[in-house]
Structure 1
Amino acid sequence: MQLKQRIDLMVRLGEYMENESSEFAAVKEKAFRENAWFTTPFINIAINNIVTNYLSGTLLEKWVDLYQVAGENTNPKTVGIVMAGNIPLVGFHDMLCVFITGNRALIKASSKDNVLIHHIVAKLCEWNNAAAGLLVFAETLKNCDAYIATGSNNSGRYFEYYFGKYPSIIRRNKTSVAILDGTETTGQLESLADDMQLFFGLGCRNVTKLFVPENYDFIPLLQAAKKYETILDFHKYKHNYDYQLALQIMNNKFYMTGGSLIFVENESIFAPVSQVNYTHYKEKVSLETLTIHPDIQCIVGNNFTPFGNAQSPALNDYADGIDTMQFLTRL
């Protein structure tokens, strides 16, 4: 396939995903039945982010121009992709990178996010059967020229063992943080609620840790967090919330609740579902090391990623800060 064909195919996919058909609605319903964390509203948000930020012809053309992607890949490589499944279509960007560079993607989909990605690939192959040679699913990824694997710290060790001798990108546990200075508007705090609670907080770009100045007034933040209090009606999330709340009460710990979130003073940047940790800081200069912290995916705040944009990455917002397109074009 020529580069223009691949771009046009992705633009057509964006139009298909945006203009919901009864077929696609049924697929989304099936995805929810197989993974109850994938509620229809959150699936729709994930799809809208992909359509808006990835699948525009103008955006794709500017993106490939940055890497001088050739019109035809005369020496395509087979790239094994191990996809995560924590939020809907989280592995789409890796697949897009491999496909748009004219390489062959051998995909191991997550059992938690199996339905949506299979349907999307099936539609691409239906519209242009040449795509079937570039997008292939497999249970085991053998004889690949390179690998892109995303998982936990534990699975990352296995990935390193099996794939480390090949050109590879191996991703492990990550999370995101927010730096507040007390000047945030109500609108910004409500947008921060999106960063904390979209996809139930399961994404690596979800904010799980706040850095706040001394004597910070939490009341406006607690009020803003009530924006998502209805997700307590979702039983899986409610079980996590009740459990974490019980732990704080039984251990006689100080905590604050805002809607469906529990705020706890804790040094860890990682927090369980339904909880957000916070730490007070004295001087902003002490926060400079966060920009190079190996476990931080995204920093939200004034002069950082804007509030509300954590879960809406652009084409060149690469996971772990590793340029996937550069990796693929240099194979």
Structure 2
Amino acid sequence: MSDLTTRIEAFVKLGVFFNEFCNSDNKQVESKEELAELFSSLEEKIALSQHKNGWFTRENILYSLQNWAQALSEENLKEWTANYAISESKSPKTVALILAGNIPLVGFHDFLSVLITGHKALVKLSSNDNILLPFVADILIHFQPEFEHFIQFEKDKLTDFDMVIATGSNNTARYFEHYFKNKPHIIRKNRNSAAILTGHETKEDIQALGEDIFRYFGLGCRSVSKVFVPKNYKFDNFFEAIYNYHPIIELAKYANNYDYNKAVYLMSEFKLLDNGFLILKEDKSYSSPIASLFYESYDNINDIINKLDQDKEQIQCIVASGVLTHEIKFGATQKPSLQDYADNIDTVDFLLRNS
């Protein structure tokens, strides 16, 4: 494969393509004639993805594409890769990628990491997200034909690989760890994200937190599924601030989950707070069902900081303001940078160490 500079250039072009497509969709620019056919093909893939997976709305797919458009700038890619000694290998390794399918292009960072380090990607897609990434790969190959020999999508059993990066549930992780025990591997399990509120947040802060809660319908590991609040916290202002997200209930799949979970909770006589599109339930666990948000009260914020540290294997990221050293700003969980690795495991370092 060509050198790192050439690989970066290809991904920069991919980012520009994403940006121009999204801007064209927003009618901000006219699509270039030479890109019109690719734009049309991507429109078809988006429609097909929506048809196959009702959670993949057009808005959320475009949101993912726009975020990657911003991440794949030349400056970002060079700054990211400069942190590593990426040498040009004459014998690249084959990395098996077993991808999740909970949100659009959820496995793209692993795909990018494998290719940017000069390795080959052997990809096993989730049936929930098996339309977009193959097309993105075709676009990448369009910009840099050498990638054709470095990308393979496999529908059957994975064979002939050197490393594994697999994402799944806690149950599948046990299978992965046994099955891939003799290969260098990263096995990712279920994780959730949380927010710490102090009661001093502005309306704008809570509105931004709504993005962390509702984007991708709460299906992402970076989606906030639980909030920690001071004892006797008044949720009236919280509900008022997130009201702008009420159109989410118009999606039938979301509405069905809202109705079902509310019915289950009421039959169990749980005490609930409800605004017509989000159910708040007091619960010590992290993983709240769709259309619900768990909350837990605290007397001393240091107790929550210690709890989150003890439970860090269950946590993807934490939203707060001025509470933690490593915290995510309100509204930013679904906009990770290239340096934000899932489960805080440096994927590029793993790939280079096992080359």
User: Is the CA contact (8 Å cut-off) linking 1:225 and 1:258 kept in structure 2?
Assistant: no
Q: Distance in 2 between matches of 1:315 and 1:128?
A: 21
Show the 5 A alignment for 1:134-145.
134-139=150-155, 140-145=157-162
Aligned length in residues: 329
Give the AA of the match of 1:296.
I
Q: Distance in 2 between matches of 1:164 and 1:228?
A: 44
SS class of match (2:82): helix
Q: Distance in 2 between matches of 1:122 and 1:294?
A: 36
SS class of match (2:294): strand
Identity %: 40
SS class of match (1:86): coil
Give the AA of the match of 1:307.
F
User: Is the CA contact (8 Å cut-off) linking 2:18 and 2:68 kept in structure 1?
Assistant: no
Q: Distance in 1 between matches of 2:122 and 2:188?
A: 17
Once the two structures are overlaid, the 10-residue window that deviates more, 31-40 or 16-25, is 16-25
Give the corresponding residue for 2:262: 245
Matched, 1:321 2:344: yes
Q: Distance in 2 between matches of 1:110 and 1:251?
A: 34
User: Is the CA contact (8 Å cut-off) linking 2:14 and 2:143 kept in structure 1?
Assistant: no
Question: How far is the alpha carbon of 1:183 from its aligned partner?
Answer: 0.6
Q: Aligned to 2:96, which of 51, 65, 80?
A: 80
SS class of match (1:19): helix
Q: Distance in 2 between matches of 1:259 and 1:8?
A: 48
Q: Distance in 2 between matches of 1:288 and 1:95?
A: 33
SS class of match (2:243): helix
Q: Distance in 1 between matches of 2:259 and 2:217?
A: 15
SS class of match (2:242): helix
Matched, 1:299 2:328: no
Q: Distance in 2 between matches of 1:153 and 1:42?
A: 26
Give the corresponding residue for 1:312: 335
Question: How far is the alpha carbon of 1:309 from its aligned partner?
Answer: 0.6
Question: How far is the alpha carbon of 1:259 from its aligned partner?
Answer: 4.7
Q: Distance in 2 between matches of 1:259 and 1:164?
A: 47
Show the 5 A alignment for 1:4-15.
4-15=5-16
Q: Distance in 2 between matches of 1:223 and 1:163?
A: 49
Matched, 1:168 2:185: yes
Question: How far is the alpha carbon of 1:166 from its aligned partner?
Answer: 0.8
CA shift digits 1:33-73 (9 cap, x unpaired) = 111110000111111111112x1111101111101222x22
Q: Aligned to 1:282, which of 277, 295, 299?
A: 299
Q: Distance in 2 between matches of 1:325 and 1:182?
A: 39
Give the corresponding residue for 1:116: 132
Q: Distance in 2 between matches of 1:36 and 1:99?
A: 30
Give the corresponding residue for 1:199: 216
TM-score (norm 1): 0.97
Q: Distance in 2 between matches of 1:273 and 1:210?
A: 15
Show the 5 A alignment for 1:212-251.
212-251=229-268
Matched, 1:98 2:145: no
Q: Give every structure 1 segment of 4 or more consecutive aligned residues whose post-TM-superposition deviation is greater than 3 Å.
A: none
Unaligned runs of 5+ in 2: 22-38
Give the corresponding residue for 1:89: 105
CA shift digits 1:277-297 (9 cap, x unpaired) = 000011111122313521100
User: Is the CA contact (8 Å cut-off) linking 1:210 and 1:279 kept in structure 2?
Assistant: yes
Matched, 1:29 2:47: yes
Give the AA of the match of 2:19.
E
Unaligned runs of 5+ in 1: none
TM-score (norm 2): 0.90
User: Is the CA contact (8 Å cut-off) linking 1:225 and 1:261 kept in structure 2?
Assistant: no
Q: Distance in 1 between matches of 2:58 and 2:64?
A: 10
Give the AA of the match of 1:88.
P
Q: Distance in 1 between matches of 2:158 and 2:343?
A: 22
Give the corresponding residue for 1:129: 145
Q: Distance in 1 between matches of 2:119 and 2:275?
A: 47
Q: Distance in 2 between matches of 1:200 and 1:222?
A: 17
Give the corresponding residue for 1:3: 4
Question: How far is the alpha carbon of 1:248 from its aligned partner?
Answer: 2.4
